Amino acid sequence: EAKRLGRGQVVAYSPALSSEYEKRVMLEKDLQAALDNDELELRYQPIVDPRSGRTICCEALLRWQHPTLGEIPPSVFVPIAEGTGMISRIGSWVLVSACAEAMHWSPDIKVAVNLSPLQFKQGHDIVDIVTDALLRSGLAARRLELEITETVLIDDTEQTLAILEELREIGIGISLDDFGTGFASLAYLNDFPFSKVKIDRKFTQNLEQSTRTAAILKGIAQTTKDLQIELVAEGVEKTVQLDYMRSLGINAIQGYLFSRPLRATRLRRVIAKPIIPSWSLERSGRTVT
Ligand code: C2E
Ligand code: MG
Ligand code: MG
Ligand code: MG
């Protein structure tokens, strides 16, 4: 049986007895203390222009270093934080931390922060929270991009639109994340003031097997080009995927091919120079010096 040993400490789970429910309840309790105990950390993943190897933007991605369970991915604990309402506090911390970290980068590199739909549902408070993060860090609004998913757009359309427009007026970029999953429709691009669309990695990884996926992507590339919305390809792991993206004129690439999400200190060094994988140098006939 899993028992708590007082604050923040958890006995190793007994696999036979710990149900999914028990695990969740325990993680819920532990997450309460995680922020105060410095167990939450942001990693940063570069988004690269493959023509130059230069980093355009870095996405902040949450990690939880659990004292006994090790690293817990955001796909597990973000839903828990949303369920308990803790996502507001965590989300504000993410905003301030990411903006402050970006102050250590070249000023032409932006920072992208994921927003939970729930943070958005707090109404206009989100505008204050974002403005506060910019003021406290000193980061220019044009260097911040907020990533939201289509779930934000489904209800309260008018309030959502008003908030997005307010954020755009401040100079902040708004990205539609995970495009190509769920019900994401090109109509959203007409109805909401997005500056960027991010193609989901499942979509990228489907390209090779599915000519339909490739055809849809071609359409998205043309539409975003016509609307002057930037397009980012996520989850690019292979050169064939990169080549296809580039053939469509997509020149903002995020994926393991260029870099995994990195710790802040390591990232600062990596983005200070072009990220050019060795295969690219070989292919272009250049040599590593
Ligand atoms: P996302 O915003 O779509 O982030 C991209 C995810 O793709 C990240 O997963 C990243 O590590 C992963 N990824 C990037 N390139 C590759 C690749 O080439 N191959 C593969 N297999 N994966 C790649 P991660 O870090 O596990 O985050 C998962 C999701 O958790 C994020 O998806 C985002 O929705 C959420 N999340 C992360 N940080 C935060 C946060 O601070 N706040 C909120 N609300 N959600 C967050
Ligand atoms: Mg994202
Ligand atoms: Mg995504
Ligand atoms: Mg996602």
Enter the ipTM. 0.98
> Residue 259, Cβ neighbours under 10 Å: how many?
21
CA–centroid distance, 69 to ligand 2, in Å, is 25
* pTM for the structure as a whole: 0.91
CA–centroid distance, 73 to ligand 4, in Å, is 12
Q: What is the pLDDT along the chain (289 residues), one digit of tens a residue?
A: 344 444 555 555 555 556 888 888 899 999 999 999 999 999 999 999 999 999 999 999 999 999 999 999 999 999 999 999 999 999 999 999 999 999 999 999 999 999 999 988 876 799 999 999 999 999 999 999 999 998 888 877 888 999 999 999 999 999 999 988 766 678 889 889 999 999 999 999 999 898 988 888 999 999 999 999 999 999 999 999 999 999 999 999 999 999 999 999 999 999 999 998 766 666 666 554 4
Residue with CA at minimum distance from ligand 1 atom 20: 235
CA–centroid distance, 147 to ligand 4, in Å, is 9
Residue with CA at minimum distance from ligand 1 atom 27: 74
Query: What was the pLDDT predicted at 133?
Result: 98
CB burial readout 4-24, b (16+ within 10 A) else e? eeeebebeeeeeeeeeeeeee
> Residues with Cβ within 5 Å of ion ligand 4?
178
Pocket of ligand 1 (CB under 6 A): 45, 60-62, 73-75, 78, 94, 114-116, 147, 177-178, 201, 234-237, 254-256, 261
Query: What was the pLDDT predicted at 3?
Result: 44
Identify which of 130, 234, 238, 263 to mutate to test ligand 1's pocket (most ligand atoms within 8 A of the CB).
234
Query: What was the pLDDT predicted at 1?
Result: 38
Closest ligand to C-alpha of residue 45 is 1
